[in-house]
Amino acid sequence: MQLKKMIVLYALLSTSLFSRAQDAPINKQSFDQINLTYPGLEKTNALFLAGKYDEAAVQLLSYYRGRKNIRHPEFNLSDESRFKGKSIGTSNLEKANNALEHKFQPHKGYGFFDYGKDINWQFWPVKDNEVRWQLHRVYWWQPMGLAYRSSGDEKYAKEWVAQFRDWALKNPLGLSDDNDRYAWRPLEVSERVQSLPGTFNLFLKASDFSPAFLLEFLKSYHQQANYIPLHYSELGNHLLFEAQRLLFAGSFFPEFKDAASWRKSGISVLNTEIKKQVYADGMQFELSPTYHVAAIDIFLKAYNAAKMAGVENEFPESYSKTVENMIIAIANLSFPDYNNPMFGDSWLVEKSGRVRQFQSWAKAFPQNNTIKYFASEGKEGAAPAYLSHALSVGGFYTFRNGWNVQSTVMILKASPPGEFHAQPDNGTFELWVKGRNFSPDGGVYVYSGDAEINKLREEYRQTKVHQTLTLDNKNMVITKARQNKWETGKNLDILTYTNPSYPELDHQRSVLFINQKYFLIIDKAFGKATGNLGVHFQLKEDSKPVFDKTKNRVHTSYTDGNNLLIQSLNTDKVSLNEEAGKVSYAYRKEVARPAFVFEKPKNDGNAQRFITLLCPYEGDTVPEVSISFLTGNDFEKGELRISLSIDGKAQTIKTKL
């Protein structure tokens, strides 16, 4: 094995970029992966059988340039009016032009890096694993294709052909364990398998797209697609991506001998995984809104690819019903601006992008009025007939008084473990009021890399930077929260759940949405464990909060009058302390933001409680709030009997927690 690697390395060092751009000889073996009896390849097959391999390659290229029965979802030869002379956008043009100089942007969280005149595909400019992995997704190749189709300038095609050959030569499977880890990780392979057909169509008519290069391309593509079913990831969204993209490969290139087996493998995996990965309430088991949406698109792309090959009946009726349920789940997890909470490695999204997703989903499910409502931004269809809603299996609870921008919406997470993307954050929530998210989740910032990168990731995963309870500021155990009560009504919605957060310490949180206006949160920490308890809160970066330690309250000071009061109503001693906070709305970008904690000690085995009011209000006059406990109030038995007064208006609340 070492001798083989040394020979490969010697070949790489002794081969110039110029020689890599030359056509390889065409012989009988060049057609090994192609089913020459496929309908439409009769002329190619006749030339092949006559031993006229160069002419067979010319005919094969002619076949692909004239192929009309296979339509790419985005890029097709016949769509000339879509491309010629049309703008491809500043970002795409920048990527395409920088790529001519071998300046690539592997990851949108960073800028462009110079990979050298003789491209160094092993260059690792930032010790972030995503940068090295995503380099091999070659995201700039399609922008190069768009630039070519828009301008007609052959320089883009010439460079792409050279880069494709360069990548294939310098990243052979088995070069080294380290290189295989990045260039041949199944997810990256599947990304190329997904994107290369579009790039293929964009460049197919270029003069540098020679018959010899066609065969090189098909050989490399076949090797990459064939690699996937032998190296599927074990679970999660990676496995879904790989299966869907393999199915697409078999549908877009049905001329391959292995195309049918690729389709069969992809469909089999997806039929199995949709049952494993999607809960009865519609949530994908990674419990990340971002990856949940990705899974929806994976399942639909797979179905569309199967339709392209005429094998969509291999998906049962339950498959599409499950996908439809997943879309309704994400609708329930949406704020009025179409964003979802940044739980579990999620990011903010542009409203326009999410609307386009709903529009594509509406085409798949035209009879669903809820999907139509979101796709049309409320102009068609109908909002769900309910307001507050629980996704009880996935553990996401939405308190809501409406579906428009003026609504109040709290989305809280109390879930089972969620695989890689899970954070130790059960109990955390985001609160939206009248167009403002007052308490966005901290986000993720970065994924993985060297020790410094991993430390940055852990900072954002900490329990104490989420809106929940901690013991000695330590991370809670990632485990399953148990729903005790979920009940909705005209004037009161209530959730109670229990989370085994620490060894010998459980956390029970009750959230009461009162009069569809404000929230009372009752936290109970019980068990033998002792230490310092804290209930943490984080605010939006521009909230300019005022801290009133005398009254144990914090309020925002927005000049538009849309404000929030967070006040401890404990009658025992609780201290209010400011904390360092930050939030990341996009990869490797962060801003400081206000954060604070209500704290008190737990010195024995007795239960301790925090009672906190979250009160949205209008104007700059902070509401005066008080609480009194009525006869029959018994926290130990879960009997809540209180009178809550806000600006002199008292309300009696009697319920069971």
**Residue with structure tokens 């993209």?**
245
What SS3 class is residue 511?
A: strand
Contact predicate 613/565, CB 8 Å: yes
Contact predicate 107/131, CB 8 Å: yes
Q: What is the 3-state secondary structure (H, E, C) of 120-139?
A: CCCCCCCCEHHHHHHHCCCC
Residue 164 phi, psi dihedral angles, 5° rounding: -60, -45
| DSSP for residue 421 | G
Of 115, 139, 291, 502, catalytic: 291
Give the Å distances, CA to CA, from 168 to 106, 136, 184, 590: 17, 11, 11, 37
CA neighbours within 13 Å on the CB side: how many for 456? 17
Q: What is the 3-state secondary structure (H, E, C) of 194-212?
A: HHHHHHHHHHCCCCCCCHH
Q: How far apart are CA 163 and CA 475, in angstroms?
A: 46
DSSP labels, 288-325 = -HHHHHHHHHHHHHHHHHHHHHT-GGGS-HHHHHHHHH
Kindly give the pairing relationship between strand 562-568 and strand 505-514. unpaired
Contact predicate 428/412, CB 8 Å: yes
**Of the candidates 257, 265, 196, 264, the residue with the CA atom closest to the CA atom of residue 230:** 265
291 is catalytic: yes
Exposure of 247 by Cβ count < 10 A (0-12 exposed, 13-18 middle, 19+ buried)?
Answer: buried
The tokens for 505 are 């310490």
Q: How far apart are CA 631 and CA 649, in angstroms?
A: 20
End-to-end alpha-carbon separation of the chain, Å? 66
For residue 102, count other CB atoms closer than 10 A to its CB: 19
Bridge partners, residue 643, by sequence = 628, 652
**Of the candidates 535, 533, 534, the residue with the CA atom closest to the CA atom of residue 603:** 533
Q: 277's torsion region: left (phi>0), alpha (psi -120 to 50) or beta?
A: alpha
Buried b (16+ CB within 10 A) or exposed e, 296-332: bbbbbbbbbbbebbebbeebeeebbebbbebbbbbbb
For residue 272, count other CB atoms closer than 10 A to its CB: 12
For residue 116, count other CB atoms closer than 10 A to its CB: 11
**Of the candidates 123, 113, 125, 133, the residue with the CA atom closest to the CA atom of residue 448:** 133
Q: How far apart are CA 429 and CA 467, in angstroms?
A: 6
DSSP labels, 61-83 = HHHHHH--S---SS--TT-HHHH
Q: How far apart are CA 458 and CA 202, in angstroms?
A: 42
**Residue with structure tokens 């400081």?**
592
Residue count (the chain) = 657
Which of the residues are catalytic? 291
